[in-house]
A and B are shown apart, each in its own frame.
Chain A
């Protein structure tokens, strides 16, 4: 007992220990610079590629809206899961989050998108809502009627003999407007994503 008392006095009577006991302060909690937070705008001009919306895994977390004369992605923070895919998907570097953007630029990594229009023939009623709602169709054929009929072959899809025919799949920008317009959920835009990297890049090796 006596021995341990001496040990305790020796252990806790040290000046360093007393100093630490009285004046030690925990460092304030700070978010590290590499933490992947909510995406923030970098100030570069949004060119309405919509890839951020297409890559986003959370429903309704990001949308591209009119701000003044241009476009700007808007993040809904309650929905955003901070995965950072929108930052990687944007070809123009409009968004940044943590160190994702600078890492991508240094390593030459990118996400490549392509879109396919898939129409379920069983569910499709041939109403033509998808054709009329499509913003690319509106540019290609401003005269397209309510039934989705068109004499123009430059449109993405049109109704022919009661069925929707996809003509120019490569023009699809993946905006998914047609999915919202379809009354039977027959049309689906398949978003094919590929993670790539330029094989020769400066920085490492």
Chain B
């Protein structure tokens, strides 16, 4: 069939709206997008190759450097995979502390994603508010672990340091402040008429299309597909975790579901602090030989590690499957098609929260 294409528009790899380099090649008819293709490979690190042959205590630090935004979950999934291989059990207090660190990380990742979207639709007030809120979350992460991004908090058999009661109280107070601000900003986003013009009904990803493209994480949950890796995690099961979802399927839903999840994370951290069991934070245990496949829920969706280790806990083979590649696929093959203007292409792309550092590793 003959197809009329007026103009080919390449967006990126250097683009003011993208956090990381990726090239979107759009074919447009008028200003309506007919088809799009994404081109990756501008920042390949080869980190899986660097990990090979190293003991876990070195790979742990490499794993959290795969992605700068969701570093805690990479650390957590890698260490829990090593624990599954070696049969190490985690003390309950350490398991709860892991959830606190992980949820704080999820909060800052979602706030950064929403900041990025607001920046793309040029709502700069909300941009500054959300970045400010994220800084408060980062401060809490630093108070808990000692570092803002590369925390290295989780080790096999436990965590590195305990939370002292004064810090737990400070965290509670800070969560109250963050929740109040979050409600205000989410309300600003939900009620803003200009935001609705740019977001509602733009970048529709129907549930069928989401399943076809294997969308994961908030992108899938905004299309009404309730998948969340956290429901399979024993600690989250103890906390009574139930995933949230929305059925609007557009950019607006994808941003609002992240606000919902930040509020949900605040609830999970509060529950963790209330129910925090007493006891040790490190149970010991030596990493052994074996191979496994282990998944966890990253802020962007399902993160899977395939690991093969030798009898001294050194990594022989490692493969990482990150969530962003599926979301990028869903974005450029389903969401962008039929978008009405070029300005909406960037905002739709950013609303699926692509993390290129994760994707290319």
Question: A116 vs B311: C-alpha distance in the bound complex, in angstroms?
Answer: 11
The reply to whether B142 and A35 contact each other, CB–CB distance below 8 Å, is yes
Whether, in the assembled complex, A82 has its beta carbon less than 8 Å from a beta carbon of chain B, the answer is yes
Instruction: Show 25 residue pairs from A and B whose CB-CB distance is below 8 angstroms, ordered by the A residue.
Output: A34-B146, A35-B147, A55-B57, A57-B57, A57-B62, A58-B61, A81-B150, A82-B147, A83-B61, A83-B152, A85-B57, A99-B146, A107-B162, A118-B312, A190-B55, A190-B312, A192-B55, A192-B287, A192-B313, A194-B156, A194-B284, A195-B158, A195-B282, A196-B157, A205-B279
Whether, in the assembled complex, B246 has its beta carbon less than 8 Å from a beta carbon of chain A, the answer is no
Whether, in the assembled complex, B161 has its beta carbon less than 8 Å from a beta carbon of chain A, the answer is yes
The reply to whether B286 and A194 contact each other, CB–CB distance below 8 Å, is yes
Task: Find B156's partner among A35, A57, A195 (CB 8 Å cutoff).
Answer: A195
On chain B, the number of residues with a Cβ less than 8 Å from chain A's Cβ atoms is: 33
Question: A88 vs B314: C-alpha distance in the bound complex, in angstroms?
Answer: 20
Residue numbers of A with Cβ under 8 A of B are 32, 34-36, 55, 57-58, 81-85, 88, 98-100, 103-104, 107, 109, 112, 116, 118, 190-197, 199, 204-205
Please name all residues of chain B whose beta carbon is closer than 8 Å to the beta carbon of A88 when the two chains form the complex.
160
Nearest B residue (CB) for A191? B55
The reply to whether B286 and A192 contact each other, CB–CB distance below 8 Å, is yes
Whether, in the assembled complex, B281 has its beta carbon less than 8 Å from a beta carbon of chain A, the answer is yes
Chain B: interface secondary structure? loop
Please name all residues of chain A whose beta carbon is closer than 8 Å to the beta carbon of B147 when the two chains form the complex.
35-36, 82
Question: A35 vs B145: C-alpha distance in the bound complex, in angstroms?
Answer: 9
Task: Find A36's partner among B146, B155, B286, B287 (CB 8 Å cutoff).
Answer: B146
The reply to whether A107 and B281 contact each other, CB–CB distance below 8 Å, is yes
Nearest A residue (CB) for B165? A204
Query: Count the A-B residue pairs with Cβ separation under 8 angstroms: how many?
Result: 90
- Contact indicator per residue, chain B 47-69, by CB within 8 Å of chain A (1) or not (0): 00000000111101110000000
The 5 closest A-B pairs by CB, nearest first: A190-B312, A36-B146, A197-B282, A57-B58, A196-B284
Given A83-B152, A109-B281, A193-B57 contact (CB < 8 Å): yes
Please name all residues of chain B whose beta carbon is closer than 8 Å to the beta carbon of A195 when the two chains form the complex.
155-158, 160, 282, 284
The reply to whether A103 and B57 contact each other, CB–CB distance below 8 Å, is no
Task: Find A32's partner among B60, B143, B161, B278 (CB 8 Å cutoff).
Answer: B143
Whether, in the assembled complex, B41 has its beta carbon less than 8 Å from a beta carbon of chain A, the answer is no
Whether, in the assembled complex, B14 has its beta carbon less than 8 Å from a beta carbon of chain A, the answer is no
Please name all residues of chain B whose beta carbon is closer than 8 Å to the beta carbon of A55 when the two chains form the complex.
57
Question: A192 vs B62: C-alpha distance in the bound complex, in angstroms?
Answer: 18
Whether, in the assembled complex, B285 has its beta carbon less than 8 Å from a beta carbon of chain A, the answer is yes
Please name all residues of chain B whose beta carbon is closer than 8 Å to the beta carbon of A104 when the two chains form the complex.
161
- Contact indicator per residue, chain B 160-201, by CB within 8 Å of chain A (1) or not (0): 111000000000000000000000000000000000000000
The reply to whether A57 and B61 contact each other, CB–CB distance below 8 Å, is yes
The reply to whether B158 and A98 contact each other, CB–CB distance below 8 Å, is no
- Among B62, B157, B158, B280, the most chain A Cβ lie within 10 Å of the Cβ of B280
Question: A68 vs B332: C-alpha distance in the bound complex, in angstroms?
Answer: 64
Task: Find B146's partner among A35, A58, A85, A205 (CB 8 Å cutoff).
Answer: A35
Question: A195 vs B285: C-alpha distance in the bound complex, in angstroms?
Answer: 7
Question: A81 vs B57: C-alpha distance in the bound complex, in angstroms?
Answer: 13
Please name all residues of chain A whose beta carbon is closer than 8 Å to the beta carbon of B143 when the two chains form the complex.
32, 34
Question: A55 vs B285: C-alpha distance in the bound complex, in angstroms?
Answer: 17
Please name all residues of chain A whose beta carbon is closer than 8 Å to the beta carbon of B313 when the two chains form the complex.
190, 192-193
Nearest A residue (CB) for B161? A103
Please name all residues of chain A whose beta carbon is closer than 8 Å to the beta carbon of B312 when the two chains form the complex.
116, 118, 190-192
Please name all residues of chain B whose beta carbon is closer than 8 Å to the beta carbon of A196 when the two chains form the complex.
157, 282, 284
The reply to whether A204 and B162 contact each other, CB–CB distance below 8 Å, is yes
